[in-house]
Amino acid sequence: MSTRTMSPRHQSADASPWLWPLPAGSMQRLEATPHERWLEVQEGEVWATGGLGGVGASDHWLRAGQRLALPAGTAWLLQGWQTSRLVLLQPPPAPSAPGWFSAFLQRAVQLLGRRSGSRWAMTSPGLR
C-alpha cells in the first residue's frame, strides 16, 4: 500500500481549477445572476464593464490582487489586457429543504408506529 496521500498533480502549483484564464485581448461575458458575486484578479490586468443592457453601465480597471463586487442582476463584459487569471466567487447555495432528513425520519417513525403491537410503537408525543 502506498503511503502517498496526494498525487503530484494535486501538489503542483498549476493544479488550481478555480483559476479561470483570460488570454490577452480576449473577452468573456458574465451573465446576470440573482445573487451578488465577486471577481478577483490573481494575475494580469482586466477591464470590466458592468450593468450591460441596462442603465448605469460602469467600467473598472482591475490589476492583480484587486477584487470587484458584482451586484445581483448585473451582466458583465471582461477583457484581458494581459494574459490574466481570475477567480469568480459566489455565495454557496442555500439548503433546498432545511431539516428534510429529520422530517423523513419522523414520518418513517409515524408509519412504523401505526403497526399495532409493534416494537416500533412511538413513545414520544413530540413525534406524533
Q: Strands of 84-89's sheet, edge to edge?
A: 20-22, 84-89, 37-43, 67-70
The pLDDT confidence band at residue 15, using thresholds 50, 70 and 90, is low
**How many angstroms separate the CA atoms of 66 and 39, rounded?**
8
Same domain, 64 and 113: no
**pLDDT tens readout for residues 71-107:** 998 899 999 998 999 999 988 877 665 577 777 777 7
**Torsion 56-35-69-14 (CA) sign:** negative
Same domain, 64 and 41: yes
Q: Are 22 and 13 in contact (CB under 8 A)?
A: no
**pLDDT tens readout for residues 22-72:** 999 999 999 999 999 999 999 999 999 987 666 578 899 999 999 999 999
Same domain, 26 and 68: yes
pTM, two decimals, is 0.60
Q: Are 128 and 122 in contact (CB under 8 A)?
A: yes
Residue 9 lies in a domain: no
CATH code of the domain in which 32 resides: 2.60.120.10
C-alpha 62, offset from chain centre:
22
Tell me which residue range forms the domain holding 114: 98-128
**pLDDT tens readout for residues 19-32:** 889 999 999 999 99
- Other C-beta atoms closer than 10 Å to the C-beta of 41 total 23
